[in-house]
Amino acid sequence: MVQKIALEEHFLSPGLVDYWKPTMTEVAPAFVEQLYKRLTDFGDLRLATMDKAGIARSVLGVAGPGVQAERDVALATRKAREANDFLAVEIQKRPDRYAGFAHIAVQDPRAAADELERCMRDLKFSGAMINGHTNGMYLDDASLAPFWERADALGAVIYIHPTDPIVPAPVLNGVPALRRATWEWGFETGSHALRLVFSGVFDRYPNAKVALGHMGETLPYLLWRFDSRAKLYNVKLAKEPSDYIKDNIVVTVSGVYAREPLMCAVEALGRDKVMFAADYPFENAEEAGHFLDDVAIPEDLRADVAYNNAAKLLKL
């Protein structure tokens, strides 16, 4: 069993539960209870699961939507800070097993920048996890320049985690099995990342790094198409879209446990851009761990995806 660093592992702090519960209305109550128990546990239950999956260290981030759903700017800022302080206390209890992604309220971009810096400098977090759009505002919004300036200066990794779209796509009407994790979230989150590329965010902030789960939300498969359409539509960027995806975006294997998409991501983006994640507790961490243990790839690549790439990127 190869030792792993897992990058998309979730928790809930007391002040954020009321944002999470409304997202579970269509989930069986017994399963919601199980999820809540796991999200709020930092002891034996979580650690035992990590051990079974071969996870040496989990990078913890808030289960969505968190304050991305809050419209009161001051309240969002305060609750994000409280969540980060809560997580810092839990990490300090087991610093060899846990690391953290900051929870950020981008509703106030300057306060968001300050909180990102506080979390990375003072709390020693590894970057931030942002749960998709914030009340319909995506991370390429011009108002977020102060946040991206700070992320660029810090070399921060910003993990964009899926969330529900503001308005479900009509093409999904009548086929609920395609909603959320099956297809909807991948399109929503991949599109979010592409907004950063095509709007020039990485031209302005070249040191910023974005992480995507689920083997890159289909982006590695479509690099040629992005480049060809950018030429056709005369998109004004300093480089081709694929260059930004290769240079500024890293991906994790969360929720996609098959060799073919893994190798597509490795070959499209580079072997140093693919990392492990289990998406605990929403995905089966043992299944994730056993996939990487058993998949037919060279042992040096297995070690890089499992541990080395994340350790280097996040300075763990």
d(CA 229, CA 233) in angstroms, rounded, equals 6
Task: Compute CA distances 275 → 28, 60, 68, 222, 309, whole Å.
Answer: 31, 15, 25, 19, 6
d(CA 130, CA 65) in angstroms, rounded, equals 8
d(CA 205, CA 153) in angstroms, rounded, equals 9
d(CA 209, CA 101) in angstroms, rounded, equals 13
CB atoms < 10 A from the CB of 213, how many? 25
Helix (H) / strand (E) containing 71:
none
Catalytic residues: 279
Token pair recorded at residue 205: 């902030």
**Residues for the chain: how many in total?**
316
Per the CB < 8 A criterion, the answer to whether 294 and 52 are in contact is no
Strand 274-275 and strand 249-252: the pairing is: parallel
DSSP code per residue over 77-133: HHHHHHHHHHHHHHHHHSTTTEEE-EE--TTSHHHHHHHHHHHHHTS---EEEE-S-
